[in-house]
Structure formats: structure tokens, C-alpha cells
A and B are shown apart, each in its own frame.
Chain A
Amino acid sequence: MLTYSLKRLAQLFVTVLGVVTLVFFTMRMIPGDPISAMAGDNLSGAALDQMRTQMGLNESLLMQYLTYLGSLAVLDFGNTVTTKLPIIQLILDALPVTVSIAVGTIILTVLISIPLGTLAAYMAHKGHKTLDNAITGVAMVLDLMPSFWTSLVCLLIFSLALGWFPASGTVTIDDPVQLMRRIALPVLVLSMAQIATMARITRTSVLEVLSEDYVRTARSMGWSELRVLFRHALKNAALPIVTVVGLSFGNLLNGTVIVEFIFTLPGIGNLLVGGINSRDYQMVQTLILFYALIFVIINFATDLVYRVFDPRVQF
């Protein structure tokens, strides 16, 4: 376990360094920089140049890169270009909203897709093809709808026409009811995409396990179908499902950027969009660093969960 943790830590370091480097250089390949984005056409060339020198943007790329790595080493993430607020503070303030959306989505997805997938698998196993086909069919339709489109449709129906959920308004974690009402639609939209994938994986995985010998053994010991399904089949089918849940987190981070923008939620996705628009190098770099960290941590957690479901997994 110790060697494993050390190995993972080394991996984490390499991953983060790679991501940070990539973002650093790609941001600087985009035309424009923070100064031109902020000033527009209002300032003279000399004034702009002075500001650039102040911010160190006139140094060589390598020099800028090394300075950046140096500040990272002491966990100095800098301030935003426009408001001069500490970036780390902004991110920590926005993070709860994004995490709420992501966790809500995962919970809703798991609650719907695993029973649905298991039911489909059981029906397929028993030769009742109609229900299985219906579930798989619905899952496919859900999968085909892009989330930027479903977002708009949901907004149109549930916020504008029916008025069930507010389409805008302030959000803080201090007011959980308001938070829930605001993130309900984004969670629904993101879940629709995830449910399809997860239900299909669950179906395939459970269906395969149901024809395993040990399931027959459980039946031969006199257990009911329900117990066989939940105690034996689902536990054995869990590994691929856990893998997909872990991987879908990456997709979710993607998805939150879109829904936060459409539903005007103050999460880190919106920060990222703002940062890119204003060419705020520091902001974007720090955010991507955060995304990478979240991703690596989720992967690590997934591996730990493996151990819970399958004792054969050794570290």
C-alpha cells in the first residue's frame, strides 16, 4: 500500500506538471494577451507596453515559464488581471457550486441508471426482450441529445413556461434551498447524458455476470432471484460500473462549464470562461491545475473503491 501511494504521488506530480506546462504555452499561443483584452483600443502603444513590462509579459517565454513554476512552488497563484483579487479565493468561493452540480449529477445518475440497467439485464437474461429493448432504446435517445440543447429546452419548459425553477438569481451555499432550486435543472440536464452510458454499462456487466457459474451456485443454494441479483450479480458487476462512474467525472467537469454558462451559475466553469475571454493567464492556468487535481484525485478514489468491491485487487 505504501509503495502504491508513493507511486501514485509521483504520477500526480508528473501529470500536474504536464498539464500546467501545456496550458501555459497554449494560452500564449492564442492571439491577444490580458492587456489588450482589458484595454481594447483605448490605450496607446507605449502605455500598453509599459503595462506589459510591469506584468512581466515582455520577458522571454522561458523566463515567464520559470517564474510561473517558481510561484507555483510556493503556492502563489496570483491575482486576477481586472479586479486584482486573489485567484485562489475566487476559485474556493466558486468551487462549492460546481461540486454540488457534479455530486448531484452522480447521485441522480447512479440512482436511476443502475436499477434500470440491472432490470434490463435481468429481463434480457430471462428472455423477456421487450422491456430490455425499451430501456436500451430510451437510453440511446437520451445519449443522442447534446447537453447545450437539452439545457435550453429545459430552461424553456421548466423555467420560462412552467416557472418551477428560477433561471437566474444569486447562489450561495449559505442558502441550500435556493442552491438546490438553482442547480436542479443543470443536474437534470447533465444526468440525462450520463444515465444513458451508465445504464448501458450496467446492463452489459450484469448480464454477463448473470450467466456465471457462481450465480447458478447461489440459485442452487435456494436463494431467491432478488437476493441472487443484488447480493451476487450486482456486486460482481460493480467494477466496470465504478470505472465508468470515475471516468464520467471527467465528462462532468466538461459538462459543468456548459451548464454553468447557460444557467448563469457562479461555479468554476464560469470563472474559466471569463478567464479565457479576458486572456487572464494566471486564472486559466490555476483553474486547469484545479481540474487536473480533481481528476487525479477521482481516479485515485476509484482505485480505492475497486478494493471495496473486489478483494482480488491488490495494491
Chain B
Amino acid sequence: MNFLRPIQALNASPTGQTSLLEVRDLHTHFLTDGGTVKAVNGVSFEIERGERIAIVGESGSGKSAMAMSLLRLLAYPGKVVAGQINLNGRDLNRMSERQLNHIRGREVGTIFQDPMSSLDPVMKIADQMIPPIMRHLDMNSEKARAEAIGWLDRVGIPDAGRRIDAYPFEMSGGMRQRVMIAMALSGRPKLMIADEPTTALDVTIQAQIVELLKELTSETGAGMIFITHDLGLVARFAHKVGVMYAGKLVEFGPVKDIFARPCHPYTQSLLDTIPPVDQAERRKLAQIPGFPPDMKLPLVGCAFKDRCAAAHERCFVEAPDLTLRGPGHRAACWKPEGLGEARRKDAELVPPMTHSEEDRVVVEVFNLHKHFTGRSVLPWKVPPTVRAVNGISLNIREGETLGIVGESGCGKSTVARLLLGLDPATSGDIYVDGMAQMVFQDPASSFNPKMMLADIIQEPLVVTGWGNRMERAARTRELLAQVGLDESYMSRYPNQLSGGQRQRIAIARALALKPSVVVADEPTSALDVSVRAQIINLMVDLKRQLRVSFVFISHDLLTVSYISDKIAVMYLGEVVEYGAADEVFRNPAHPYTQALIAAVPVPDPVAEEARMKKPLSGELPSPLDLPSGCAFASRCPRATDHCRAEKPLLQAYSKSREAACHYAN
């Protein structure tokens, strides 16, 4: 395929030439009824040809608004109010819509976050892909179709010639994102803008997509802007990184330099909030106190001053500009070292909790099954059955945290529902000593918006007839204190809370009846990294203080391994590896666990370079027709005929670990 040839400009020495993209003093405002939100507040950076730049920041930092401003893809009331966007020397910001439509899809390709909603659901892939190619590359429909099939094949769509006539709903999320990438590349763009392209995907699929994007940008020589909140991905993917805070770039530079020597207090804090990979001893995660500033209000001084431990007088009156800190490394802070001494290199140690065989077992699950049987209209047809949970056994002791990990569709959320008794099990035993309570992923939708927080927290008490009004109020105050909120929250409403505060309330409510186990299904997935650290620290404290057990379900392996004592790795409704968290994470026995851990990007560019980059191929097979042998055999690099014929049972691997693999030892 000739279009995969690198563009010439990459080979020519770029010195003295203009950059591929040069953004100068970009300002984007959202003109809402409640006031003007200054989402992007003077951002400047440049991208050279073939360069991958990551822009990181928390929600509300303006990183997506910035990326969408480049091609004027902002929805009303967003508007680029000032700045230059020079692509190969031409200012996109001064172009008419008509001119810009010759840039969009041709010179600049865009990949969006959610593959499930980014493709037109009622149009075939062919009808979405071919017309743009015909338009941008001036091809007839036959040639354009061949070109489209070529791209689909290149991004790893099996049987592309046939699949091009499929509708998006006939494909998985990972496949749709591949289609999206093929679409974005089909105009042979010189620049790609990817807005959180892997956030909605499983970690294994994310690893595949990231590798694909790396390969494709190297092959085509296209530059890339990659918006993300995942610092691990930055380390794995980017050449350079820009950190955004309150609509501004606060630090920008080569990725290794920034990870090794961050200069801005915000960058430093962000890096410290990530659970460490090396688990020799557990320390408390760094938290960033306070909230980002309200972008509707005028800002005096540095935007980060209120949350910065190193802030001094000058920060409150004058905003620092980006200054050079190393080759290509710029940061916007008055202090050369940022937090410097105030940075908690040695955070408070979390004393290890001791668990012994004598501890009370609070949850015991034996050979649990949950099958969902469909209905078949024709009486002689066997109805389809999904084996969501297919024979798992677990136990949790008092004060212990069990982490359950696996790709979406592996049955981990079904286990949670079964533990809570929300669904009846098909067969098997669940024994809970005491009570199980739940914390949801999205607390906002689990609260009645018309109820005061005191009533929300007290609801379980009222339902069970616990105490009188005075006693319940006292208990509510106690619970609020336990989750780190003061009494004034009792009379507030859910919409007055931030994401982290909501999750604290959800935890308080779950603790109200003194349960023996709290089941938390993705409790930190919807939260920003700094807030996530707060919630994790809180849960670690709670389990020490109250000796309450947690079941922590998440796809975020770093977080699970940090918080859990034990880990159960699930694949297609079965536990394939089960044992002490540190051991499972540091020395995984099952090939699936190994692949999952290899897929998780670690926030260290040097370590990332050295890691094995062969992502797990394929996707989770349909749970409708499970193979007779090992369920993982279809994706396993070590699978043999023995695996396909005989199902491996969960067997002791070491003293504190079990694995279901014929070749684990």
C-alpha cells in the first residue's frame, strides 16, 4: 500500500522549517447563560512532524475543549475567541467553514472517546468511510472502496472486505474504535487528534489500540495530539507531554524529562497520586486538596495557588508564565523546584494489616453459578443461555479486601449483585456473616436528587427501624465524620457535591448499618486521579478502623492491587487466578493474569520502554457458547490441544495462591 509511505518532510531536516502545528495563545470560551466559562486560557505549543504529544489534565482542565478548538468542532456555546492555529503555516482559526472542511478529515483526522456513540448507528461502515475518501482523495467509488478496505485491514479488522458492509452495532467496542481510526486515517492526514481514544475500552483492548496508533503514526509520519487523563498511557505512548490546569498549559516537555523531573507542583502531585507499582510497602497516596477554580470567575495570580503547598505571596498576585527548565522543558511556576521539600517523597506508611487463619470468615461463596436464559419463540428450540458466573468459590475474612478484576463481560459485576442478594443465584452457596452493602460506580445516579444528604445516609436506618430520630441523627454525624465530611453536609443536596464528596456520602450510607462487607463496584472509575487517591486512602483507613471487609471490583489493576489483600482474576465467569494481591501482581501465574498486567501501562516512560509490548490478541469470546476446554485457550499464547480438550481446574499454585492453568507450574 503506497499510502503507508512516510511523508517526505519527515526525512528532511526540520531545522529552520515551520512546525507541523503551531498553536499560539489559544483562547476558547463557553458563553453560557450563567456567565462566560473561560475553558481554554492562552495555550501555546507546537508539534513537529511524526511527533506524538499527550495532553493530560483532570476533567474541567480544558484539554478536550482545546483539542476540539483546533478544528472548530466545539458545540454551541463554545467559541474560539482568540489565537492562532497554524497548520503548515496556514492559520486554521482564520479560515471559513468551507475552507476548514477541506482540512477536516483530509489534513487532520480526529478520533473520539466513545466508539459506541461516535459512529452513525444507522449507516453501514462503507457509507461512512467511502464518501469522505472519494471527496478528499478525489477517487471514484470503486477505488475508494478498495482504499477503505485496505485501511480496515490495516487497523486489524478481520475479513475487512465483508465487514465493511456491516453496521456499527454488529461490532464490538474495540472493533468500532479500529473503524474510527481507519476513518480518521483514510484522508491520509498529517495530523491526528485523538480525544481519550481508549478511555471507554478494556485494558487489553486499550493496549492493542495504543500499539496500533503508535505503529500507524510511525508509518505515516503523521503528528498526533493525544488527550488523556491516564499518566500510564502518556508514559507508554507520547514523545512529549503537556499538563493542563484551569485552561492553561502549566508544564510542557519531553516525556522522560517530565516524569523524571517534574517542575510544576500540579504535575508533581499528579504523579504522586498514582498507586506505586512496586508494592514492597504501602504508603498513603498523595492527595491534592481543594478544587480547581471556577472558570467563570476572574482569576488573580496562579490558578493552582489554593491547592499548592509551596504557594507564596507572589503566587496570589501574579500568574507565572512558562519558563524554560531544560531542553524543550517548560513549566509555569515561580519556584524552580515546584513543591521541592514539600513534595511528600516519603509519604506516611500504611501499617500492614495482619490477617490470620483465626479471623472470622465473613463471606463464603461456594461453586456459585448464575445463568441468564433467554427466551426462544419456537418451543422446540433450546433457549440461549449466558453463563455469566460459572462456578466460582471465594472467601473473605474480617477486615480483608478482595479485589475482583477482569475485562468487561467477565461476570465481575454479576458476582457483586449475587453477593448482595440483588439477583438470585442459579446454583451454589453464598454465606454472608452479617450484612453486605453496596457502593456504586456513579453515586450521583444512586441518590434521590430531592433528598437531603442526612436523609440519604439515614435511609437504611429508617428502613430497618434502627433507633429513634435523635439516635439516627447522631449516627449520621458519626458516619459523616468517618468519611471525612463535617456536619454541615447533613442539610445539603446531592447536586451541591463534587464527585469525590458524593462517593464519600455513598460510602457513609453503605456503612450506616455496620455491615460486615461492603461491595464496591468500580467506585473510583468515574473520578479524577486526585480524587481517586482520596477515596482509596479513605477506604484503606476505614478497613483498618472498622475492620470492615471490602469487595473491590474494578478494571483498574493498579488501584486494585494497591487496595486489595487478595485478588480474584475472572475470565468468562470463572476465577482463573486467586490469591494474595502482592503475589498475583508481582508474579502472575496464569497467562491471562500475565497478559492483563502487561497491558496496564505504568506511569514510568523508562520502564515502559523496557516492557514487553505484545498485547493480548483477540477479544473476549461470546459467553453464549463456551468451549469445552480452557475458556482462555482461544487467546492464550501457550495454548495446546490439551488445553482445548480438557478444562483446567483451579489448583494450588503456591501456599497462598491458586491458578487454573495446565501449564502454570
Contact = CB atoms under 8 A, between A and B. Distances in A.
A218 B73 CA distance: 10
B106 A222 contact: yes
A311 B73 CA distance: 28
Given A212-B117, A236-B121, A221 B169 contact: no
Interface string B128-141: 00001001100000
Interface string A219-239: 111111100000010011000
Contacts of B503: none
B118 interface: yes
A126 B76 contact: yes
Contacts of A148: none
Contacts, number: 81
B609 interface: no
- The dominant DSSP class at the A interface is helix
B112 A222 contact: no
A4 B593 CA distance: 45
Contact of A223 (B77, B101, B183, B184): B101
A238 B75 CA distance: 22
A310 interface: yes
B261 interface: no
Nearest to B113: A213
Interface string B166-208: 0101000000000010011001000000000000000000000
B61 interface: no
B337 interface: no
A312 interface: yes
B118 A213 contact: yes
A214 B118 contact: yes
A216 interface: yes
B97 interface: yes
A213 B117 contact: yes
A3 to B, nearest CB: 5
B119 A312 contact: no
B102 to A, nearest CB: 7
Contact of B132 (A214, A221, A225, A310): A221
A225 B97 contact: yes
A40 to B, nearest CB: 57
A53 interface: no
Contacts of B378: 3
B114 A222 contact: no
Nearest to A308: B122
Contact of A214 (B76, B97, B119): B119
Nearest to B180: A217
Please list the 4 inter-chain residue pairs (A to B) with the smallest Cβ-Cβ separation, ordered nearest first.
A222-B105, A221-B105, A222-B104, A220-B110
Given A224-B98, A236-B120, A311-B169, 12 more contacts: A125-B76, A126-B76, A214-B118, A217-B180, A220-B109, A220-B184, A221-B183, A222-B102, A222-B132, A222-B135, A310-B121, A311-B122
Interface of A: 3, 125-127, 211-214, 216-225, 232, 235-236, 309-312
19 contacts: A125-B76, A126-B76, A127-B77, A217-B112, A217-B120, A217-B180, A220-B109, A220-B110, A220-B184, A221-B187, A222-B106, A224-B97, A225-B97, A235-B122, A236-B122, A310-B121, A311-B122, A312-B122, A312-B169
